[in-house]
Structure 1
């Protein structure tokens, strides 16, 4: 059982060790900063081992209270002999990875839903049943016949829309019963991709300006980590329920839809080379839609890659070199996601706002809203200060500040 004196002595010894190592290796640390990271990681590893060993020891039945208050034979002669707990499990290490992976698959499915893959198959089925297209007994025709024969065993479109609304915040309405829409997901996801893209842009600039640059100002790990942890914590409470089963079933449904669209008789009917050509042709011919197939599909692929990366414990890596090596996996997917979303006006690149406020309705650096009363309105009429109607936000010379 660790005492308060052992607790203080441990950190004093660790601090002395760090100072001694920095003093002896000062010249080498200046020319090779990675060496400092390696040394700090070893010292941190030793501290973690000590903490793990202390937590593994069972505490006394009273938790050390008798020694602290001076009751019984276990009374401590001074504060240094009392029991000192090591703390509790870190909050950010309690997220289940399988649920975040499931959210990534659901996001992938949502983008294909927005493209219109399922609507295309349903339209083909409607035309097939009405005899409006030249299909009879090929593999595509047989697949269209069987596509809705298992509807009673599947989640319906209404169930899918409710899941998108509850977990991703996309769509309209109040969401499924006894749940609320996750309206913060999109802005947190955009923020994470922006910060990953900015990190690597800063890193590339530093490599161009100075060879082997290692200045922390060129890309902040803390900002990327905060953006990732915010998104993980957001998904922690919205990924419960039937998400895992639903995404497996809908992934099977998506595979079946593409098997029909890629059938030779269906492709021949539209003069298409592949299943995506069939999707585009049906959307243009029967729905008269502006095609967003390519950016939506890339958003689904790259967004799923980013969310899968977030499900791993990489975001908690504290060593700079290792964090950069792990983050490299989603450097290009994040940049591509931002580019695709920007082309659809679903996201914007941010260069200034590095941290998102918890209060989504109050931007960083903006004061509390100013209420518009009779005296303020009279003052505004004299040209001193304008107040936007219904917003409570002050304006100067008629322009919003």
Structure 2
């Protein structure tokens, strides 16, 4: 369709939309706004015509020769950047984050210590399921990706650790800053919504937003894009193999003869005792376990979200509510870790993310 016709349809649609919305009651207007927007996008796409020959028509190489601008097809550009990610890579990154937190909990180091103690006869296990599992691990050594490979993967995808990145590899430099900002945005959104629900008192106030949905959409899109760029190569294979191996190790720690050898009640007690005796001290088990659970769940949700700008706030609120709790849990655990003790709080983190100055307390409050 010609450019002039496209502009005419656009103006007429805007006039039609304004007239129709004015005649609708508020309840129906809210429900139909999204449908009108979707229909307008379909009309725009159809009105642009066949744009495959538009450039040839523009330079005069088309069947009709040189055409005036008013008769040229409209170039309908499709905004598809936010959808140009590979979900399998994002899911692999979510699993790799879970594995990383268990690496920080010394789960892999504890397994190596158990294998050494079993080989040297310094652990009183003999015929139980734990001894059998240790024998199988020692005989077959199923994990192909060693510590060096895992540390390189953590560095590439999350910029965690001090392992040197391979020359030419893409390193996700801003992952941690983006993850903390997204967690803060989710937490702030539902905190604001809770305050709004408390003070709600009339029909008009129901239409007011209780949280900054745009911040969540922007941060989530940036996080998805950065993870997609850095999770190529062997990340998917490494995550699958290491995930199965970690599951095997956690089952090993939970075997009755292994727990009895260390006077432990749970597998986490085994990790704690072995870490204290042989690895120079226990890691942050409780905090890392919660960060692994909630961080993986949040990253999985980000992988499956498209973060549409025109998303219905009510639908988004229902979908995101469980993940608001995960964000709060992640922040609470993160603040108890060594690197998270400098976390300034949800409000200050959000202001810093949005480029706003942090409010300084008054002298009366500071004293």
Of 77-86 and 265-274, more deviation after overlay is shown by: 77-86
Query: Match for residue 335 of structure 2?
Result: 342
CA deviations on 1:86-132 (whole Å, 9 max, x unpaired) are 10342111112111111000000000010011111111111111111
Indicate whether 1:273 and 2:274 are aligned: no
- Is the 2:107–2:271 contact (alpha carbons within 8 Å) kept by the matching residues of 1? yes
Alignment counterpart, residue 233 of structure 1, candidates 225, 231, 238: 225
Whole-Å separation in 1 of the counterparts to 2:66 and 2:351? 47
Shift of 1:73: 5.6
The SS at the match of 1:166 is helix
- Is the 1:125–1:144 contact (alpha carbons within 8 Å) kept by the matching residues of 2? yes
Whole-Å separation in 1 of the counterparts to 2:211 and 2:249? 43
Whole-Å separation in 1 of the counterparts to 2:350 and 2:258? 49
CA deviations on 1:33-76 (whole Å, 9 max, x unpaired) are xx44421211122133335556895733xx3433x456676247
Report the CA distance shift for 1:155/1:319 in structure 2 as closer, same or farther (over 3 A): same
The SS at the match of 2:230 is coil
Whole-Å separation in 1 of the counterparts to 2:247 and 2:61? 69
Indicate whether 1:287 and 2:287 are aligned: no
- Is the 1:227–1:355 contact (alpha carbons within 8 Å) kept by the matching residues of 2? no
Shift of 1:174: 2.5
Structure of higher CA gyration radius: 1
The SS at the match of 1:123 is helix
Query: Match for residue 172 of structure 1?
Result: 162
**Normalization by structure 2: what TM-score?**
0.87
Alignment counterpart, residue 306 of structure 1, candidates 269, 291, 298: 298
Query: Match for residue 296 of structure 1?
Result: 288
Larger RCO (alpha carbons 8 Å, 6+ apart)? 2
Query: Match for residue 388 of structure 1?
Result: none
The unaligned stretches of length 5 or more in structure 1 are 367-401
Shift of 1:263: 1.4
The SS at the match of 2:13 is helix
The SS at the match of 1:226 is helix
Query: Match for residue 386 of structure 1?
Result: none
The SS at the match of 2:123 is coil
- Is the 2:56–2:62 contact (alpha carbons within 8 Å) kept by the matching residues of 1? no
Alignment counterpart, residue 90 of structure 1, candidates 67, 77, 80: 80
Report the CA distance shift for 1:364/1:151 in structure 2 as closer, same or farther (over 3 A): farther
Whole-Å separation in 1 of the counterparts to 2:235 and 2:48? 35
Count of paired positions: 352
Map 1:349-364; keep pairs closer than 5 Å: 349-352=345-348, 354=350
Whole-Å separation in 1 of the counterparts to 2:322 and 2:116? 43
Indicate whether 1:224 and 2:216 are aligned: yes
Query: Match for residue 380 of structure 1?
Result: none
CA deviations on 1:342-388 (whole Å, 9 max, x unpaired) are 11143422314547679xxxx6569xxxxxxxxxxxxxxxxxxxxxx
The SS at the match of 1:147 is helix
Whole-Å separation in 1 of the counterparts to 2:268 and 2:63? 79
The unaligned stretches of length 5 or more in structure 2 are 359-367
Whole-Å separation in 1 of the counterparts to 2:31 and 2:267? 51
Shift of 1:175: 1.8
Shift of 1:152: 7.4
Shift of 1:216: 4.4
- Is the 2:98–2:292 contact (alpha carbons within 8 Å) kept by the matching residues of 1? yes
Query: Match for residue 8 of structure 1?
Result: 7
Report the CA distance shift for 1:261/1:42 in structure 2 as closer, same or farther (over 3 A): same
Report the CA distance shift for 1:340/1:257 in structure 2 as closer, same or farther (over 3 A): same
Query: Match for residue 65 of structure 1?
Result: 56
- Is the 1:193–1:335 contact (alpha carbons within 8 Å) kept by the matching residues of 2? yes
Indicate whether 1:115 and 2:114 are aligned: no
Indicate whether 1:126 and 2:116 are aligned: yes
Whole-Å separation in 2 of the counterparts to 1:38 and 1:208? 25
Shift of 1:215: 5.0
Report the CA distance shift for 1:152/1:142 in structure 2 as closer, same or farther (over 3 A): closer
